[in-house]
Structure 1
Amino acid sequence: MPYRPDATDKRILKLLQANGRLSAKEIADKIGLTVTPTYERIRKIEQSGIIRSVVALLDREQLDLKTVVYCNVSLQVHALRVLQQFEKAVRKMEEVMECYHITGNFDYLLKVAVPDMNAYQKFLTQKLAALDHIAQVHSNFVMTDVKYTTAYEIA
């Protein structure tokens, strides 16, 4: 049976989503428990797999990744072997931040981060379009980040 976080666990999760560097003591102070039960709750949540990893979120613009592109990709063939080859290749592409197998008019949605239009053109022609069985790629360039979050709403 999957782990079901209670109200206290959900408060812990909200705090950790906002700041993954909080110590068990800091979390305990915020939720009104002592350190030991708070630590045990965090450990239980981690063991359940709800927390996949703790990472640092970087400012892409300061890393000269000013251009974000969402690519809709269609494949010519939908055989399992072709899908697996495409997914394996995409996982190796450093520019691809996210990749989803989707329904609708396209097969995949990719989020790509690159320094500029020239870098995207190079990525598109030398990496993505160079893969076997690519039928179409439609690119949508992000003009403004209106909302960006990594935190899920926890009811």
Structure 2
Amino acid sequence: MHNLDETDAKILQYLQQDATLKTRELAEKLNLSYTPVYERVRRLEKEGVIRKYVALVDREKVGKKLMAFCNIALKEHSKVMGEKFVKAVVAMPEVTECFNISGDYDFLLKIIVEDMSQYQQFLMQKLGSLENIGSTHSLFVMGEIKNSSELEMQVHKK
């Protein structure tokens, strides 16, 4: 875990709200000069605190109207079979997130497609073709209440 000071936390807060902010704009918001802000951002990138910058696309405006969560239970829990499953899922563009979970299921997939017909095709042709799936359980999103990628920053005092 990285120890963030107040300035680092503010930089991360601003960049989570708008990753297109230029260093000069960040410096103005923080009442600092360009160079220390530039160096802090580069350090946060180098240390992996900032992993990447992305554009968040409105899925419905690009025709992806169905979001589903699919629980997956594997038949076999060997390292080889688990790695094979993960490699296959990572290659599927419909799967936008994949989590290894505890409980009755082994994985939770977030799947975004155009409609129910495309989801059925995905389930039957792609997931259904994987040899190690024991069972699946699908949940369909009827409405989004909150969808945020912003993390609250904890400032560590020295």
TM-score where L is the length of structure 2: 0.95
Larger RCO: 1 or 2 (CA < 8 Å, sep 6+): 2
Match of 1:77 in 2: 76
1:122 corresponds to 2:128: no
Match of 1:29 in 2: 28
Match of 1:136 in 2: 135
1:17 CA displacement: 0.3
1:133 CA displacement: 1.5
SS in 1 for 2:108: strand
| Aligned pairs (5 A) from 1:79-98 | 79-98=78-97
SS in 1 for 2:10: helix
Aligned length: 154
Find the aligned partners of 1:109 and 1:97 in 2 and give their Cα distance: 11
Structure 2 residues without counterparts, runs of 5 or longer: none
Match of 1:57 in 2: 56
Q: Deviations over 1:45-80 (max 9, x none)?
A: 111110000011111111100000000000111111
Structure 1 residues without counterparts, runs of 5 or longer: none
Q: Which amino acid aligns with 1:92?
A: A
Q: Which amino acid aligns with 1:87?
A: V
Find the aligned partners of 1:41 and 1:77 in 2 and give their Cα distance: 46
1:37 CA displacement: 1.1
Q: Which amino acid aligns with 1:103?
A: S
Find the aligned partners of 2:48 and 2:149 in 1 and give their Cα distance: 17
Find the aligned partners of 2:40 and 2:132 in 1 and give their Cα distance: 48
Write out the 4+ residue segments of structure 1 that deviate beyond 6 Å after TM superposition: none
1:105 CA displacement: 0.3
SS in 2 for 1:111: strand
1:3 CA displacement: 3.8
